[in-house]
Structure 1
């Protein structure tokens, strides 16, 4: 807010938006001391008109969040062989950036310590333009086909009938979408409630691509590992924090940076040569699955440090607009269907929420690269609107021209255009089972079962509960049994009879014949946690 000034000297004059000095900001012009207000009090009407429009539409998802500025510094030159991106060109190279962290489902006024994935969105102001990474604190997601995104998000919102929260829609959707099991298992594990934004990892989640100066393409996944160490809240701690301070995470980040306790993350990448994707035993572009580190180990790239708080939350955090469409030479997209669906969707949402010229808002502007194009007019145009120059291309008047040298290498695609069933021929259960057995220890598995049972207990239909338990039986029989018992069901009945009755309700679901003979006492022994936390 700046230094307090009690004597009022040497202060800027108060003006209207047009620059007219305001003679009195305390009293409305009226006809006499008790009379009605007069229409000629323009200052009053301008104040109210501005006030009535202070609230832009909040984000449909990721509405509650906070952010900060920082710097990315390259610490390892191994990455330069995979990409021509200038920001990775040499050890010591620094790139200014902005980060925004958020919850996914709740509105702006909701508590930020709830069980929910966290958005981990980064904007790098490179010398070649802005590169945005629209990631999360989990390496996977609930769905793998973009046509299901709005359906999924609707299940995370309040009920249309009464505007109240109800867990039934989300569990109904998840139980009918077996591909969600990996992310749901993450969500109800300990990392579903980070203790702070500073103590959680961030991931590109999507597979992206790098390409080098030879035109060779590599598929990559990005991992931002917190240097503060992973810390999480229990369900009880999160509820307590939400009651004490619904802005706890936002305040924690702000105060840490104000105190000079700058949080850092180490960027590591997994790299897969383009040709290997066709032979790999899982689809490397499937957002519901991870690449095992044994196959593609992490390579250190650099460090991200957040070291500067915004001056104004609305201007710099609320108006920050991230989009996976924003890439720079050396970084590109992949055939990931969810990523492809998000490329046009994000900018469309920003144009609705912020206006057609949202990238002219200072927090969204490139810092070290000029913008030259033939876009014209639109609400809130903030520059010279390209002046008197030509507004078409090609032209003979020295307007900006294309740069063929930054074209991406060709991407080989083939196949018949069709609507392919994304649930066919895919194992939705191995990786969630590995997460439960190999990453979670006994205590975390206990907390996972408790969290799922607590949440599903509020589901209004037993058939939905049983259908969801069936998925966990396939991932890990012991967890399936414990969940069934925790919700008051006989595990053997669920496996053998009742779930078979709802099989046809699951679109393209795998058959359940192999479940009938499962001995819930005959299961793999839990393994100690591994370093592969993905």
Structure 2
């Protein structure tokens, strides 16, 4: 018979009885000295941590990144050299729903990858779409508020969503993708991943190019209609978790092809559109896809909370040879993501095993929550500040070789009006050239059903006006689908009423048409 493990308290003492509380007599009150009972109750009260404000519902697994092609002319990153194989962790998620939300909701999906490289962790924190709803970080918090619950009704508000979107023309392209087939993938394995932002690669000569990261699913783009998803949610709210977990347990490891687009600094200066605008794609004809390798997921977490819920991804985590760009949204995320993790998990969240690099780490961070360093973090016990006189005795020092080349200035510092750009052209190409007729009809039905819940006619007409600027057929198709949805027996508006005389455009050029903005 195998030796049995002894149940112990957190301090290591043997647990004498895990069945009965200590009381003053069989019917008497409990005793405060029953520390084992107190420890169990106290730990249970603290089993939950704050959920992510965004991307709260998620699913993940471990895997490996394999580089099969030579892109050394673009980057010196060791993990991107031909033949390199790097352990990794992936977490997929919805954006709007809370941690208990149903998996099969129409929503953008988060697509976060952590690569444990020999130079530290590289995080690729993206979505399943190549673009986003807004291009200026000032509007990110406002946008997320529209995706969450109305403060009075505590329900999702289509009126808030389309009010914001109709006042933000740059969102039309992303909303179109959201309402298309790709807005409701069958599972995490059936969607692409994108870095979305523009990043940079730096080679051994310290030459920089701008880059877009793409991870193309090899499982195909299978999707559900709204009606199919409703039936699945009626059976289970954990459809993505079930499918991802079971697929890997069965040894059917999902794969994604890793590709990049590259733009030189000279091409960026001459580009007809802003290449650092998160609401724009880089046309493949001008910046073709370049094969790099693939990643596969091949191991489920042993403990979901420890390895997936505690996983903290941030675009601030880069390694030599990979870096950022002047993308305004990316610049803000470099701060906000790491800051969110410090709030949610603790000051030293990167010492939690799933977030810790696989290499020794030396720095001068000190004390605070989640300090699990153990031993001397700086390399010398007398070196708890820097500069110091102990570098020849093991104290950590900077590495100037990791310094990046200077970033050329793109203009004088100012607050630039981002509403002067064409927000309809790329969306027009997507709807009228890329989509076939069946895909367009599903887009019209999905968006018409969503717009049907908006309680303000002024907001509806403003939104439909944007669609008409994309293409008249787009506006007509969505309008017809909306009218049909409202006329159906199942139509039940669930948004807090908004009167048509309430929405007034204020600030930032919101609501101006493109000609008016250009004229100003």
Normalised by the length of structure 1, the TM-score is 0.90
Q: Following superposition of structure 1 onto structure 2, how do residues 439-454 of structure 1 map, counting pairs within 5 Å? A: 439-454=434-449
Is 1:479–2:479 an aligned residue pair? Answer: no
Spell out, residue by residue over 1:96-123, the C-alpha distance to the aligned partner (whole angstroms, 9 max, x if none).
1000000001001000110001100000
Check whether the contact 1:106–1:157 (CA below 8 A) recurs between aligned residues: yes
Per the alignment, residue 425 of structure 2 pairs with: 430
Per the alignment, residue 155 of structure 1 pairs with: 146
Selected match of 2:76 from 77, 84, 88 = 84
Selected match of 1:248 from 236, 239, 254 = 239
Spell out, residue by residue over 1:232-269, the C-alpha distance to the aligned partner (whole angstroms, 9 max, x if none).
11111111111211110111010000000000001010
Is 1:101–2:92 an aligned residue pair? Answer: yes
Selected match of 1:114 from 100, 105, 108 = 105
Per the alignment, residue 455 of structure 2 pairs with: 460
Is 1:284–2:279 an aligned residue pair? Answer: no
Q: 1:512, CA displacement in angstroms?
A: 4.8
Check whether the contact 1:105–1:157 (CA below 8 A) recurs between aligned residues: yes
Q: Secondary structure at the match of 1:209?
A: strand
Is 1:363–2:359 an aligned residue pair? Answer: no
Is 1:258–2:253 an aligned residue pair? Answer: no
Selected match of 2:261 from 266, 270, 273 = 270
Selected match of 2:310 from 319, 323, 326 = 319
Cα distance in 2, alignment partners of residues 40 and 217 from structure 1:
65
Per the alignment, residue 375 of structure 1 pairs with: 365
Is 1:508–2:509 an aligned residue pair? Answer: yes
Q: 1:334, CA displacement in angstroms?
A: 0.2
Per the alignment, residue 24 of structure 1 pairs with: 17
Spell out, residue by residue over 1:275-304, the C-alpha distance to the aligned partner (whole angstroms, 9 max, x if none).
210100110000001000000000000010
Relative to structure 1, is the Cα distance of residues 14 and 344 closer, same or farther in structure 2, using a 3 angstrom cutoff?
same
Check whether the contact 1:97–1:125 (CA below 8 A) recurs between aligned residues: yes
Cα distance in 2, alignment partners of residues 448 and 514 from structure 1:
28
Cα distance in 2, alignment partners of residues 371 and 508 from structure 1:
48
Cα distance in 1, alignment partners of residues 514 and 140 from structure 2:
30
Is 1:58–2:54 an aligned residue pair? Answer: no
Check whether the contact 2:165–2:463 (CA below 8 A) recurs between aligned residues: yes
Q: Secondary structure at the match of 2:291?
A: strand
Q: Following superposition of structure 1 onto structure 2, how do residues 297-312 of structure 1 map, counting pairs within 5 Å? A: 297-312=288-303
Check whether the contact 2:417–2:508 (CA below 8 A) recurs between aligned residues: no
Spell out, residue by residue over 1:122-178, the C-alpha distance to the aligned partner (whole angstroms, 9 max, x if none).
000011100000010000000000011111001001111131222111111001111
Q: 1:513, CA displacement in angstroms?
A: 9.1
Check whether the contact 1:139–1:203 (CA below 8 A) recurs between aligned residues: yes
Per the alignment, residue 398 of structure 2 pairs with: 402
Q: Secondary structure at the match of 2:86?
A: strand
Per the alignment, residue 492 of structure 2 pairs with: none
Check whether the contact 2:68–2:293 (CA below 8 A) recurs between aligned residues: yes
Check whether the contact 2:106–2:178 (CA below 8 A) recurs between aligned residues: yes
Per the alignment, residue 133 of structure 1 pairs with: 124
Check whether the contact 1:503–1:509 (CA below 8 A) recurs between aligned residues: no
Selected match of 2:41 from 7, 29, 48 = 48
Q: 1:511, CA displacement in angstroms?
A: 5.7
Q: 1:27, CA displacement in angstroms?
A: 0.7
Per the alignment, residue 62 of structure 2 pairs with: 69
Q: 1:416, CA displacement in angstroms?
A: 3.1
Q: 1:9, CA displacement in angstroms?
A: 5.4
Relative to structure 1, is the Cα distance of residues 113 and 389 closer, same or farther in structure 2, using a 3 angstrom cutoff?
farther
Q: 1:385, CA displacement in angstroms?
A: 5.5
Check whether the contact 2:362–2:396 (CA below 8 A) recurs between aligned residues: yes
Q: Secondary structure at the match of 2:216?
A: strand
Per the alignment, residue 412 of structure 2 pairs with: 416
Spell out, residue by residue over 1:353-381, the C-alpha distance to the aligned partner (whole angstroms, 9 max, x if none).
000110001110111x2211011111121
Cα distance in 1, alignment partners of residues 503 and 43 from structure 2:
55
Q: 1:274, CA displacement in angstroms?
A: 1.2
Q: 1:386, CA displacement in angstroms?
A: 2.4
Selected match of 1:146 from 127, 137, 150 = 137
Selected match of 1:209 from 187, 200, 209 = 200
Selected match of 1:220 from 211, 215, 218 = 211
Normalised by the length of structure 2, the TM-score is 0.92
Check whether the contact 2:445–2:482 (CA below 8 A) recurs between aligned residues: no
Q: 1:486, CA displacement in angstroms?
A: 3.5
Is 1:348–2:344 an aligned residue pair? Answer: no
Check whether the contact 1:70–1:96 (CA below 8 A) recurs between aligned residues: yes
Q: Secondary structure at the match of 2:445?
A: helix
